[in-house]
Amino acid sequence: MGNIKRREFLKGSGAAAASTLLFSDLSANSLISGPVANKSKSLSGSHFGAFRAHVKGGQFTGVTAFEDDPNPSPMINALPSRTYAKTRVEYPMVREGFLKHGHKSDTSKRGSDKFVRVSWEKALDLVASEVKRVQKSYGYKSIYAGSYGWYCTGKLHNPQTLMNRMMKISGGFVGRIGDYSTAAAQIILPHVLGSIEVYEQQTSWPLVLKHAKNVVFWGANPLVTCQIDWDVSGHGAFPYLEQLKKAHKKGQVDVFSVDPVKNDTAMYFDSKMIQPKPNTDVAMMLGMMYYLHTSNQYDKEFIKKYTVGFKDFEEYLLGKVDNTPKTLTWASNICGIKEKDIKDFAQKLKDEKSMLMAGWGVQRADHGEQFHWTLVTLACMLGQVGVPGCGFGFSYHYSNGGTPSSYAPGLGGISTNINSSKNGPWTKYEPFNIPCARMVDMISNPGKVIDFNGKKIEYPEIKMVYWTSGNPFHHHQDRNTMIEAWKKLETFIVHEPFWTPTARMADIVLPATTEIERNDIEIIGDYNSSHIIAMKKAIDPVKESKDDYEICRLISKRLGYEEEFTDGKKSQMDWIKEFYNNSKVQGENKGIKMPTFEEFWEKGYVKFDVREEDKNFTRYEEYVKNPMLNPLGTPSGKIEISSRVIKKFNYDDCLHYPSWIEPAEWLGSEESEEYPLHVLSPHPKYRLHSQLSNTWIRDLYEVNGREPIWLNPKDAKKRGIKNGDIVKVYNKRGSTLAGAIVTKNVLPGVVKMDEGGWYDPKNPGEEKTMCKHGDVNQLTIDKGTSKLAQGNISNTALVQIEKYTKEAPHISVFEKPSIV
């Protein structure tokens, strides 16, 4: 833990009170006790932000936030604790049964078998021989290496890319399409807007603050989620959020939160709350649009000039297609919001300049494609798309979107491109990918054919899974189905710094380093690219850990392709220098003067300026000014409210216009009689997915050693549950223990349990055994959003809760597994 004051976070009644303590109330550097050390040369970065490492006696002891960070995240203070966690994988390990019997071992022992320490030579030989065996016996489509995860930053040490590069060189692998965060949106939005959109820069915050009279956070919680970036977080959105709060207090702008949960952002702004039942936002928006249409208030000129397909949608909206007009009464009966409130909300958005800032959690639901499509259609009917400070945006809550972009060059990194004239195995490899959230379905059902975005995909038979620094036994849905699928695999290989639930299920575990144990280079701020920083190695690798680059190099050497992997035996610093110098050339072409690599590495960073024109960026402004000269990437070049392409697919679960389709489970379904609570699993507050859960920061939020679950006082009273009780949460798919937080901040009939709690089975290997700790994916459904996107539906699930009256079992997932 170093010198961190872990209890400074906790106030009042412990973790229950800490759960409503806002990040805005916390200071990163205030958590470091004693005098702050002088600036260290060991500048580094993480998804939580840049920092300067404190090192004493070769040990990583603490951090000071990077001086250019306007709002450092308190989570950086847990990084030393993470580095030396009890769950650190210190040596190469092999599951005992696999070491004895190889791929013919009893695979049902995964998760309960003991591990045996072996030498690096033995471990690497095992991995290389397994890759060769599976490739030769079954072909490359028998290996799933779609490794996925947020583990680390850095342009060189990207574990997934390094492993994919190695596997491509050796002959190929089955990869993935999309991600768990935005799978539905990534597929639907190119049909509607011509781009993925959810990862695009947003209309600048300065323009939103200047022009918008209504700011709507729709299923978004930027106060929590903007603590992190895919690259190194620069936290550029927070000064603007503070300005918005001041304007809201003065009555200059109204801030709304549309969410069944009053989240941190809503509490921070004291937002006006609109709380529809989960998975019913589309119905509510349809009611809003019906009102705007029938009262003749929608922007006909915008619809006519900038969109196509409105007529098909209009017939559906008015009930001409299904004899069901989407009236205020119809919408109210589904979403639970009063008719007057739906009407007044629509009227206010129409009468005043409005910005709809939508999150991603709403599309992680059955038929999740419909949410983003419907919101775009609503924004078009309001007629404010392309207007400064108004319209819609899908990444204000992600990586500080809307923070003005700096005038900066790009920064490349390691890739899977092979620079070789040899006729090696990689030349025969034809990429084959599946939607990432269908991974378990693929392993369980070889030969099954699924629809995906107009195509048919036949699942191959997977014999090996190779994963690097990710935690699928956290982020994939329906844990028990996943465990059964894993028994079908012959081999499961993992690179991992920690004994995560995933590492515990592996046959071979290779110990990997963390960012602080290696050199790398990265940008600060996904959207604003304010700096390029040198991520400097501050300490030697813990125990026998090796960098992922080195691990993949050594395996490639055994496979006979070391030179191809290293691109002519480049060292790690050769790569880093090359990335920087390529960026420097780009900078020179743009008139940006940058120091030499040696000067950059000595100082630790290069800072870039924001031009005035970038502060005035409005998304879709150029399109709205001249749609003929600036067409969108859709077939029509316009916003497609109805899609002819999707119509040709003829899917029964995704029509060719925005529509309400009843979810598999929701509070209006028959299942709600047996399981009357809808569980939502948003991004956690004090970690990045499952990261940092194995540190002292867990003390901030856990309740009696369990993941917290929020439930409304009315629901708690019915079940005799009090604040702090251990409860059992269950449905037909599984069960888990949790710690109750009774709060009015969640809608009656709804419970909130953050994703990312480490899976800790009570009886490993036993069918549908209860999780002792709080893995919400014991409860979720492993089903695709629709035939269009096949995304995950983690926020579509019903549960029941009861007070747990037995003796609470010991939490063991934060201890090392059994080791021979």
548 is in an annotated binding site: yes
Catalytic entry in 148, 580, 675, 730: 148
Same domain, 684 and 620: no
Whether residue 724 lies inside any domain: the answer is yes
Indicate if the pLDDT at residue 614 is higher than 80. yes
pLDDT surpassing 50 at residue 15: no
Tell whether 52 is in a known binding site: no
In a domain, 535, yes or no: no
Both 260 and 305 in one domain: the answer is yes
- 6 confidence band (pLDDT: 50, 70, 90): very low
Assess whether 395 and 273 both reside in one domain: yes
The pLDDT of residue 469: 83
Estimate to the nearest angstrom the gap between the alpha carbon of 580 and the chain centroid. 28
Closest CA to 191 of 635, 701, 706: 635
266 and 295 within one domain: yes
Alpha helix ranges (H) inside 662-778: 713-718
Q: Write out the residue range of the structural domain in which residue 250 sits.
A: 202-401+616-649
Region 724-751 average pLDDT: 98
Question: How do residues 80-113 score in pLDDT, each as one tens digit?
Answer: 999 999 999 999 999 999 999 999 999 999 999 9
Q: Any known ligand binding at 150?
A: yes
Q: What is the pLDDT of residue 5?
A: 35
Please tell me the predicted confidence (pLDDT) of residue 72.
Answer: 97
| pLDDT confidence of residue 148 | 83
pLDDT value for 21: 52
471 is in an annotated binding site: yes
Residue pLDDT, tens place only, 252-308? 999 999 999 999 999 999 999 999 999 999 999 999 999 999 999 999 999 999 999
How many domains does the chain fold into?
2
Point out which residues pair with 708 in neighbouring strands.
739
Statement to judge: residues 222 and 347 lie in one domain: yes
Task: State the average pLDDT over residues 214-226.
Answer: 98
- Are residues 710 and 763 located together in one domain of the fold? yes
Cα four-point dihedral sign 430, 435, 439, 440: negative
Same domain, 642 and 790: no
User: What's the pLDDT score for residue 150?
Assistant: 85
Residue 165 C-beta-side C-alpha neighbours within 13 Å: 30
Q: Of 144, 150, 459, 466, which residue is the catalytic one?
A: 150
Mean pLDDT of 645-671: 98
Q: Would you say residue 631 lies in a domain?
A: yes
Q: Are residues 362 and 316 in the same domain?
A: yes
Rounded Cα–Cα distance for residues 463 and 665 (Å): 33
Considering only the C-alpha atoms of the chain, give the largest distance between any 2 of them, rounded to a whole number of Å.
75
The pTM assigned to this predicted structure is 0.95
Percent of the chain with pLDDT over 90: 93
- Tell whether residue 364 is among the known ligand binding residues: yes
**Per-residue DSSP letters for 222-266?**
HHHHTT--SSB---TTHHHHHHHHHHHHTTSSEEEEESSB--HHH
Shared domain for 626 and 707, answered yes or no, is no
| Per-residue confidence (pLDDT) for residue 30, from 0 to 100 | 40
Give domain status of residue 211, yes or no.
yes
In a domain, 770, yes or no: yes
Mean pLDDT of 524-529: 96
741 token code pair: 């937080």
Which amino acid belongs to residue 411?
Answer: L
463, part of any domain? no
Is 230 considered catalytic here? no
Residues 626, 718: one domain? no
Average pLDDT taken over every residue of the chain: 94
What are 24-61's pLDDT values in tens digits?
554 444 443 333 334 446 899 999 999 999 999 999 99
Q: What is the CATH number of the domain that holds 349?
A: 3.40.228.10
So what's the pLDDT on residue 149? 78
Is residue 283 domain-shared with residue 212, that is, in the same domain?
yes
CATH number at residue 749: 2.40.40.20
- With respect to residue 811, please indicate whether it lies within any of the assigned structural domains: no
For residue 123, is it within any domain?
A: no
Strand partners, 433: 175
Please report which residue ranges of 567-675 form alpha helices under DSSP H: 572-589, 597-603, 612-615, 621-625, 644-649
Catalytic residue status for 150:
yes
Residue 1 confidence (pLDDT) above 60: no
426 annotated ligand-binding residue = no
Question: In the structure, what pLDDT confidence band is assigned to residue 740 with cuts at 50, 70 and 90?
Answer: very high
CA distance 373 to 377: 6
- Rounded CA-CA distance 358/364 in Å is 13
CA distance 778 to 782: 10
C-alpha dihedral (242, 692, 16, 262), degrees to nearest 10: 40
Q: Are residues 245 and 349 in the same domain?
A: yes
pLDDT at 18 exceeding the cut of 50? no
pLDDT in tens, 565-587: 999 999 999 999 999 999 999 99
